[in-house]
């Protein structure tokens, strides 16, 4: 049994060697994706065009506007004392945000009275507006605990303290998700194509006539891709570490174990697709459709699951990347052990077993 | 006799939904025999072979290969047969040696035995020079020989070849058949499907298949004896297509068909030749040249199909010749 499995695996590796283009794309595409997404997919907002309307003109008011500019997030595009041009500035997009410091600002502060500054935002891009508002709060709170932004809740000034990702760099949050995304897509596509190719070329019929049984064929076919996908996963994490300073706080062993579970599920899924599709093209499309969108949208990679509608939240339970992401972020960013993510690992294990069984049953039936 | 029978089918049947691909086919093939399966596309040849290789379960009837039942002992059978499928079954992106090593590996070959068998295969297929060439760069005839030896790596007593010479030039086909004969001489049982008549002539016995049924089974010689001596004639005349229906209408003509620009007719007896010639002349199909010929296997085959169609639903699944070893 081991010999026959090995024969298939060696053949598969030889074919990979003969086809450097697909091998490279299997290894290289994840890296390119990582670079593209890593650099482009950032929720950090810089160079926010800020207008300052200083109706007060005191030193305290200047300190406040200076604090905004020194934060590094804002670029000053307009400074004045009259609030009327504000409409135009925001309408034509010359400014994305504006701070309006009222007349009594300096005096109120001196007299120890609570005071307010107005922060005006272009809310047409709500994601960006939320981020900018977050920055503004942070700045205002940092210069004086007694200052409040209009619309901020409660008299108690927030004292933010962010763990694991102190400067809230989104790359640290996104890169683990990206690794999951890339692994899922490449394993599913690569395995489904490699099995369907045998069907398309007619070699499957000859394989069926040999004493090779389903499990040997599946193992032999998936092992090389498991190897390749693991290499690509390790490469992605290493690159993320070097380029985006994504730390790996947790144990590499646990990281490997959880990743293996995740990969096994993906391989099973790929083989399952190959039993449904008759051409490489169909297999490719099925693989892409069933992995890319769900992993991108429903796994918590980009959009938080907790803010999804109830029905959609239920669907996310069948997306393996959802579990992998939680465990991965836990291990990589928090450095926590299995006691924090064993539930996720169990879910991944269940998914892997289900998928591999399904793949096996379908393969036996079609074999 | 049962100890030399290697492949036996008994009323073997396979249905796909309402369609009966193989209909109550019975035969027995002896050790060392080259057994031909002749029939047009869709006659049920491939379906029969797939059942005999343990790839497809019979719907009814039974079959055994080397003493193992195809329905219940498929795993045993797979170890004992070599199968060269209709589709090209080698990997074009692997070399000759890599392909052989892979197919040997799927049968669990390793070590010295693997090396010995590889050496044997390369020598038998005369591919020593091409060992390290990618298979996709080999000419068709070479690939066919390679596919054959790949199916023989595990030294099976029976080999099934499903239209092995499709798309190969005549010289390469002859060379391939020399290889088949060599295997049979070494005691292997060769079961081969074809729709080339000249290939069928090289088989020890030929089974004729049509629409899922066995309509004839015997040696080529015996199959041809179904026609009385001198009763198969070749007619050259003008307006051949119209002459065909004229000949068809003559009472002493059993059967007639178009062979290129000539007609082949089967007459009740050799005496009818003159009257057929004369009547064609009278009707203006002259000049008529009619002479007795040795029937070709194709004549036999076409005749057998006509007979089978005449018998329609009758339960005569062996219409021509004698089937050895059937129950």
* Nearest to B77, CA basis, from B58, B55, B62, B61: B55
- For chain B, give the percent of residues with pLDDT over 70: 94
Cβ atoms within 10 Å of A360's Cβ, excluding its own? 18
Residue B100 lies in a domain: yes
Task: Give domain status of residue B142, yes or no.
Answer: yes
Among B85, B94, B108, beta carbon nearest to A206: B85
- Tell me, yes or no, whether B190 and B278 share the same domain: no
Residues in B touching A202 (Cβ below 8 Å):
85, 87-89
Residue B150 has pLDDT above 90, yes or no: yes
pLDDT of residue B36: 93
User: Which among A2, A197, A208, A211 is the top mutation candidate for probing chain B, defined by the most B β-carbons within 10 Å of its own β-carbon?
Assistant: A211
Asked whether residue B312 is domain-assigned, the answer is: no
Among all residues of chain B, which has the CA nearest to that of A197?
A: B91
Confidence of residue B160 (pLDDT cuts 50, 70, 90): very high
A contact test, residue of B99, B102, B154, B191 with most A CBs within 10 A = B102
A203 CB neighbours in chain B (<8 A) are 87, 89-91
What is the least distance, in Å, from the CA of B165 to any CA of chain A? 16
At A197, list the tokens. 């190719």
Task: Write down the pLDDT at residue A348.
Answer: 92
Same domain membership, residue B270 and residue B207: no
CA distance A261 to chain B (A): 28
Instruction: Give residue B240's pLDDT band: very low, low, confident or very high (50, 70, 90).
Output: confident
Q: What's the pTM?
A: 0.75
Q: What is the CATH number of the domain that holds B242?
A: 3.30.70.920
Average pLDDT of chain B, as a whole number = 87
What is the average pLDDT across B310-317? 56
Q: Residue A202: which of B83, B88, B108 has the nearest Cβ? A: B88
My answer on whether B44 and B131 are in the same domain is yes
Q: Is the pLDDT of residue A203 over 80?
A: yes
Whether B185 and B134 map to the same domain: the answer is: yes
Q: Are residues B216 and B234 in the same domain?
A: no
Q: Do B98 and A8 touch (CB under 8 A)?
A: no
CB-based contact B85 A209, cutoff 8 Å: yes
How many domains does one find in chain B?
2
- CA torsion sign, B91 to B96 to B101 to B106? positive
Per-residue confidence band for A3, with pLDDT thresholds at 50, 70 and 90:
confident
Q: Is the model's pLDDT at A340 over the cut of 90?
A: no
The CA dihedral of B249, B250, B255, B259, to the nearest 10 degrees, is -80
ipTM field:
0.80
Whether A314 has a pLDDT exceeding 60, the answer reads yes
The chain A residue lying nearest B156, using CA atoms, is A210
Domain of residue B116, residue span: 5-223
Q: Among residues B138, B122, B114, which one has the least CA distance to residue A10? A: B114
Given this model, what pLDDT does residue A152 score? 43
A158: DSSP letter = P
* Spatial distance between the Cα atoms of B246 and B290, rounded to a whole number of angstroms: 15
Whether A10 and B85 lie within 8 Å, measured CB to CB: no
- Does any domain span residue B9? yes
- Judge if B253 and B137 occupy the same domain: no
Can you say how many angstroms the Cα of residue A266 is from the centroid of all Cα atoms in its chain?
18
- Say if strands A116-121 and A97-101 run parallel, antiparallel, or are unpaired: antiparallel
Looking at residue B149, its pLDDT comes to: 94
Q: Compare CB distances from A210 to B107, B110, B134 and report the shortest one's residue.
A: B107
pLDDT tens profile A9-61: 999 999 888 888 777 777 777 778 777 766 766 666 778 888 998 888 888 88
Residue of B nearest to A9 (CA): B102
In CATH, what is the architecture of A48-149?
Answer: 3-Layer(aba) Sandwich (3.40)
Q: Do B89 and A203 touch (CB under 8 A)?
A: yes
Instruction: Break chain A into its structural domains and give their ranges.
Output: 2-41+169-366, 48-149
Which CATH number characterizes residue B70's domain?
Answer: 3.40.50.300
Same domain for B277 and B186, yes or no, is no
Q: Are residues B281 and B207 in the same domain?
A: no
Specify whether B186 is located in the same domain as B280: no
pLDDT recorded at residue B204: 93
Which chain A residues touch B if contact means CB-CB below 8 Å? 3-4, 6-8, 10-11, 14-15, 18-19, 201-203, 205-213
- Do B144 and B246 belong together in one domain? no
pLDDT in tens, A79-89: 888 888 888 88
Task: Return the minimum-mean-pLDDT range out of A59-68, B32-41, B141-150.
Answer: A59-68
Answer with the residue of higher pLDDT: A60 or B117: B117
Q: Are B97 and B136 within one domain?
A: yes
């Amino acid at each position: 049994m081991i010999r026959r499995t090995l024969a298939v695996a060696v053949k598969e590796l030889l074919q990979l060697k003969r086809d450097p283009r697909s091998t490279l794309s299997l290894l290289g595409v994840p890296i390119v994706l990582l670079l593209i997404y890593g650099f482009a997919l950032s929720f950090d907002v810089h160079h926010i065009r800020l207008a300052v309307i200083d109706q007060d003109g005191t030193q305290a008011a200047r300190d406040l506007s200076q604090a905004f500019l020194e934060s590094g997030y804002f670029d000053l595009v307009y400074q004045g004392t009259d609030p009327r041009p504000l409409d135009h500035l925001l309408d034509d997009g010359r400014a994305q945000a504006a701070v309006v410091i009222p007349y009594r600002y300096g005096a109120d502060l001196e007299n120890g009275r609570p005071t307010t500054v107005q922060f005006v935002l272009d809310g047409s891009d709500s994601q960006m507006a939320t981020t900018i508002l977050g920055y503004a709060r942070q700045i205002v709170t940092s210069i004086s605990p007694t200052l409040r932004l209009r619309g901020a809740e409660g008299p108690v000034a927030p004292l933010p303290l962010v763990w694991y990702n102190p400067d809230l760099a989104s790359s640290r949050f996104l890169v683990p998700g990206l690794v999951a995304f890339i692994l899922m897509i490449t394993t599913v596509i690569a395995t489904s194509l490699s099995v369907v190719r045998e069907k398309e070329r007619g070699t499957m019929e000859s394989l069926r006539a040999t004493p090779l049984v389903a499990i040997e064929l599946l193992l032999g076919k998936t092992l090389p891709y498991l190897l390749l996908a693991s290499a690509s996963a390790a490469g992605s994490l290493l690159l993320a570490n070097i380029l985006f300073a994504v730390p790996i706080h947790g144990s590499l062993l646990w990281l490997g174990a959880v990743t293996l579970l995740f990969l096994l599920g993906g391989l099973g899924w790929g083989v399952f697709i190959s039993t449904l599709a008759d051409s490489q093209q169909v297999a490719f499309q099925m693989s892409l459709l069933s992995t890319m969108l769900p992993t991108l949208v429903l796994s918590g990679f980009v959009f938080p699951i907790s803010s999804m509608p109830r029905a959609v939240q239920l669907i996310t339970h069948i997306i393996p990347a959802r579990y992998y992401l939680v465990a991965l972020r836990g291990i990589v960013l928090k450095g926590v052990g299995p006691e924090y993510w064993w539930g996720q690992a169990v879910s991944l294990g269940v998914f892997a077993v289900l998928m591999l069984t399904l793949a096996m049953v379908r393969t036996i039936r079609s074999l | 006799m049962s100890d030399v029978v290697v492949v036996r089918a008994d009323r073997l049947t396979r249905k796909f939904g309402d369609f009966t691909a193989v209909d109550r086919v019975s035969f027995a093939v002896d050790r060392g025999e080259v057994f031909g399966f002749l029939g047009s596309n869709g006659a049920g040849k491939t379906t029969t072979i797939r059942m005999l290789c343990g790839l497809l379960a019979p719907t009814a009837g039974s079959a055994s290969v080397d003493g193992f039942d195809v329905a219940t002992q498929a795993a045993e059978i797979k170890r004992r047969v070599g199968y060269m499928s209709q589709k090209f079954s080698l990997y074009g992106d692997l070399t000759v040696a890599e392909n052989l090593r892979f197919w040997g590996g799927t049968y669990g070959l390793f070590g010295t035995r693997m090396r010995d068998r590889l050496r044997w295969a390369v020598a038998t297929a005369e591919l020593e020079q091409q060992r390290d060439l990618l298979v996709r760069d080999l000419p068709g005839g070479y690939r066919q020989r390679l596919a054959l030896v790949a199916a023989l790596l595990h030294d099976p007593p029976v080999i099934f070849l499903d239209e092995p010479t499709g798309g190969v030039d005549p010289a390469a086909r002859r060379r391939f058949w020399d290889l088949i004969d060599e295997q049979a001489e070494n005691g292997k049982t060769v079961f081969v499907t074809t729709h080339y008549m000249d290939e069928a002539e090289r088989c020890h016995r030929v089974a004729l298949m049509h629409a899922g049924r066995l309509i004839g089974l015997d040696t080529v010689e015996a199959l041809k004896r179904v026609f009385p001596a001198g009763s198969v004639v070749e007619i050259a005349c003008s307006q051949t297509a119209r002459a065909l229906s004229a000949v068809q209408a003559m009472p002493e003509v059993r059967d007639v068909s178009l062979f290129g620009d000539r007609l082949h007719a089967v007459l009740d007896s050799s005496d009818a030749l003159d009257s057929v010639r004369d009547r064609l002349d009278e009707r203006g199909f002259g000049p008529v040249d009619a002479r007795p010929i040795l029937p070709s296997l194709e004549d036999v085959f076409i005749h057998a199909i006509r007979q089978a169609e005449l018998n329609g639903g009758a339960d005569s699944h062996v219409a021509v010749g004698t089937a050895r070893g059937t129950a």
